[in-house]
């Protein structure tokens, strides 16, 4: 194997199987997890260390699982094969088993569940190590099939190209990026020998009319260089597609692209999915792959933390359905056109922006293209890296900005200067500044990415954060939000023959005084003291009569475009400054949205603080939405910056949006 064998041996889980069943069938007696384990042992299968059996941490869920160690890899394969061929069941409950590490590496869902039962035993650094080790594991038979397939393709190409040289590159050959499901990238060139006679190339139309002529008269170095690459790939495709040996071994297709590909996909009865992507004279592709490896290896931190960081971010994208998985049931319902190279380049840009230094020099020779840097110095640990990475891209304006090396530049500049293709996500290839590597990424994909970034950042802010939570970002974030939302209760009373609605709102601890809440209501929600208010001229929410407010702008909805406009005008604004100034941009409506009386309980001896609201006019739903935004989004998302700056009152020092936006 091409990675750390000692580490792999210590945490090898190729002898582990995943047992799954549906516990939602109420028409039969569903067996308990321990009954299933006893059944497996009773029918002759040898279990490994029973102390390491992992049970689903959510026993009430319909989909149940067990992580079950067997005595050996062979025993794990035996029970999985029997499950596939014979089937297992108790009563009417079907039980399915498969090896944790399959022919195409670990399945995405199995990886999520394996981490769930591991999270209580490891800290975040150890969980990340375990996850990365697991996704890099591969079965020996896969390696054997890959080697045989490569040798066959190499022989076939050698018959069609004179002095053919086939070179593997990409993640499969990488010591730092290879996983258990890496595809095989192959670059083909023709190597001239000293004294070789160089013949004039044949006319392309002549060869295209009868591609089989290449069997007797292979493509020469001159022809390989002179013919358009897409035409050369088409010629090779037409030869291979008529060869019975290759037709029986592979699905073969021609993929037109900036770098045209001839793709050989293994045909396997056991579901093995290996793709060989053949390109012609593709030194730039080799250089791009080498650049990624060099960037990882130039990190001088303890244990080279950048390696795990890159592998994790790509796996995060795969687990959250931004990238497809290796198994047939892990394909995307809607293509995003994102790829691992794009995510690696997002990381490289972010690291350079954080270091405030150009680290990558694409035109330099191999080995000198990346300056040394230290992950520990920049980020300390992986949790800090992930927090800063997702925080950076949460505030990145993908609609107007393009990524170009260390710089974030206006898209219009890249189009006008470099002739780049406009796209929802715009990122220039460091090896070719005219190529937008994300040119085909869909607008829907960018929306999905933005949503996942925000939810990931939300999870990272939780005290009980575990790194494996990010493998199910949207589901975990939704669960956390449901359990964390401020307690807002609404009651209704009859007063003088009419219904009056009252609301109590639990306040976050950072809101300490009447002045704090007053500032949030007036600056962030744009509430104004009502002309109907007849209380003291010095507004005090601790006053038993409270203060009457008018809401004349729904400043809690439609904020994204306004923030984008502010960010375009001032790219140096912090997230807190953006949020505060965004509220400034809302114009008052002629019609009052709501009128309400608000008081704050002055209970200094009680930790929990509440605001009490009496609805005088308007819809309860509007005011409830406003309070949810204020407490659960504005305060929560900016909590770190508020605490760092001295509390809620630091908002008052933020200038108005009028100072940076042109008059409308």
In this prediction, residues 188-205 reach a mean pLDDT of: 85
Distance, CA of 618 to CA of 499 (rounded, Å): 13
pLDDT tens digits, one per residue of 22-64: 988 776 788 999 999 999 999 999 999 999 999 999 888 899 9
In this prediction, residues 146-173 reach a mean pLDDT of: 96
Domains of the chain by residue range:
5-125, 140-281, 312-478, 485-659
Q: Which CATH class is domain 312-478?
A: mainly alpha
pLDDT tens digits, one per residue of 546-596: 889 999 899 999 888 888 888 888 888 888 999 999 999 998 888 899 999
Q: For position 605, what pLDDT does the model report? A: 52
- Within 8 A by CB and 6+ apart from 43, the residues are none
Q: What percent of the chain has a predicted confidence (pLDDT) above 70?
A: 95
- Find, among 74, 79, 1, 89, the residue nearest to 45 by Cα: 79
pLDDT tens digits, one per residue of 44-53: 999 999 999 9
- Find, among 172, 166, 170, the residue nearest to 154 by Cα: 166
Q: For position 537, what pLDDT does the model report? A: 59
Tokens of 68: 């079950």
Q: In what order do the strands lie in the sheet with 609-618?
A: 488-495, 498-507, 609-618, 594-600, 547-551, 527-529
Phi-psi region of 97 (alpha: psi -120 to 50; beta: other; left: phi over 0): beta
Place of tokens 């195409």: 104
Q: Which CATH class is domain 5-125?
A: alpha beta
Q: State how far the alpha carbon of 415 is from the alpha carbons of 199, 350, 375, 400, 446, in Å.
A: 42, 22, 33, 12, 19
Tokens of 612: 């009490």
Check pLDDT > 90 for residue 509. Answer: no
Distance, CA of 39 to CA of 33 (rounded, Å): 10
Please say whether the beta carbons of 312 and 473 come within 8 A.
Answer: no
Q: For position 524, what pLDDT does the model report? A: 95
- Within 8 A by CB and 6+ apart from 149, the residues are 184, 249, 250, 264, 266, 274, 276
CA-based radius of gyration for the chain: 31
Q: Classify 658 as helix, strand or coil.
A: helix
- Within 8 A by CB and 6+ apart from 151, the residues are none
Structural fold of domain 140-281: Beta Polymerase; domain 2 (3.30.460)
Please say whether the beta carbons of 438 and 450 come within 8 A.
Answer: no
Place of tokens 């299933």: 36
Please say whether the beta carbons of 134 and 170 come within 8 A.
Answer: no
Place of tokens 């900036």: 258
User: CA 526: distance to chain centroid?
Assistant: 36
């Amino acid at each position: 194997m091409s990675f750390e064998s000692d580490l792999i041996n210590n945490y090898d889980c190729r002898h582990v199987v995943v047992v799954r069943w549906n516990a939602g069938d109420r028409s039969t007696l569903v067996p308990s997890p321990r009954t299933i384990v006893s059944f497996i042992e009773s029918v002759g299968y040898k279990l490994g260390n029973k102390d390491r059996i992992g049970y689903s941490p959510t026993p009430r869920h319909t989909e149940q699982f067990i992580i079950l160690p067997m005595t050996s890899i062979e025993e794990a394969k035996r029970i999985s094969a029997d499950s596939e061929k014979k089937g297992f069941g108790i009563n009417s409950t079907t039980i399915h088993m498969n090896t944790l590490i399959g022919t195409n590496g670990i399945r995405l869902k199995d990886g999520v569940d394996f981490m769930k039962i591991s999270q209580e035993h490891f800290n975040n650094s150890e969980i990340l190590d375990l996850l990365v080790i697991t996704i890099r594991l591969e079965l020996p038979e896969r390696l054997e099939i890959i080697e045989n397939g490569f040798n066959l393709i190499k022989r076939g190409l050698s018959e069609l190209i004179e002095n053919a040289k086939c070179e593997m590159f990409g993640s499969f050959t990488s010591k730092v990026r290879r996983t258990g499901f890496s595809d095989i990238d192959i670059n083909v060139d023709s190597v001239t020998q000293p004294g070789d006679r160089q013949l004039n190339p044949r006319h392309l139309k002549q060869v295209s009319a009868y591609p089989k002529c290449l069997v007797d008269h292979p493509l020469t170095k001159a022809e390989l260089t002179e013919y358009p690459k897409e035409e050369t790939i088409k010629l090779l495709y037409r030869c291979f597609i008529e060869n019975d040996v290759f037709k029986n071994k592979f699905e073969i297709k021609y993929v037109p692209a900036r770098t045209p590909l001839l793709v050989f996909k293994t045909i396997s009865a056991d579901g093995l999915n290996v793709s060989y992507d053949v390109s012609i004279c593709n030194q730039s592709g080799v250089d791009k792959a080498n650049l990624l490896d060099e960037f990882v290896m130039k990190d001088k931190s303890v244990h080279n933390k950048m390696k795990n960081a890159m592998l994790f971010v790509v796996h995060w994208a795969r687990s959250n359905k931004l990238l497809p998985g290796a198994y047939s049931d892990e394909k995307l319902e809607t293509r995003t056109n994102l790829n691992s190279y794009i995510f690696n380049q997002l990381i490289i840009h972010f690291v350079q922006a954080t270091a405030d230094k150009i680290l990558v020099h694409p035109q330099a020779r191999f080995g000198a293209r990346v300056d040394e840097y230290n992950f520990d110095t920049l980020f300390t640990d992986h949790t800090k890296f992930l927090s800063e990475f997702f925080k950076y891209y949460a505030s990145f304006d993908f609609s107007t900005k393009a990524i170009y090396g260390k710089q974030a530049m206006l898209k219009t500049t890249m189009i006008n200067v470099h002739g780049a293709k406009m796209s929802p996500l715009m990122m220039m290839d460091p090896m070719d500044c005219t190529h937008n590597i994300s040119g085909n990424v869909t607008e829907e994909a960018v929306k999905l990415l933005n949503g996942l970034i925000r939810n990931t950042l939300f999870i990272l802010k939780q005290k009980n954060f575990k790194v494996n939570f990010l493998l199910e970002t949207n589901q975990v974030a939704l669960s956390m939000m449901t359990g964390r939302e401020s307690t807002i209760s609404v009651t209704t009373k009859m007063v003088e023959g009419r219904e009056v609605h009252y609301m109590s709102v639990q306040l976050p601890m950072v809101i300490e005084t009447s002045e704090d809440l007053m500032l949030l209501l007036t600056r962030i929600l744009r509430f104004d003291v009502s002309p109907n208010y007849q209380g003291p001229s010095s507004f005090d929410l601790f006053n038993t009569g409270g203060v009457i407010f008018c809401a004349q702008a729904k400043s809690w909805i439609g904020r994204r475009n306004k923030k984008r406009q502010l960010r375009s005008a001032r790219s140096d604004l912090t997230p807190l400054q953006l949020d505060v100034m965004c509220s400034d941009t809302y114009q008052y409506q002629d019609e009052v949205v709501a009128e309400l009386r608000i008081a704050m309980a002055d209970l200094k001896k009680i930790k929990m603080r509440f605001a009490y609201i009496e609805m005088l006019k308007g819809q309860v739903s509007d005011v409830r939405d406003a309070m949810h935004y204020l407490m659960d989004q504005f305060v929560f998302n900016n909590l770190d910056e508020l605490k760092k700056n001295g509390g809620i009152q630091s908002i008052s020092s933020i200038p108005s949006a009028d100072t940076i936006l042109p008059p409308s």
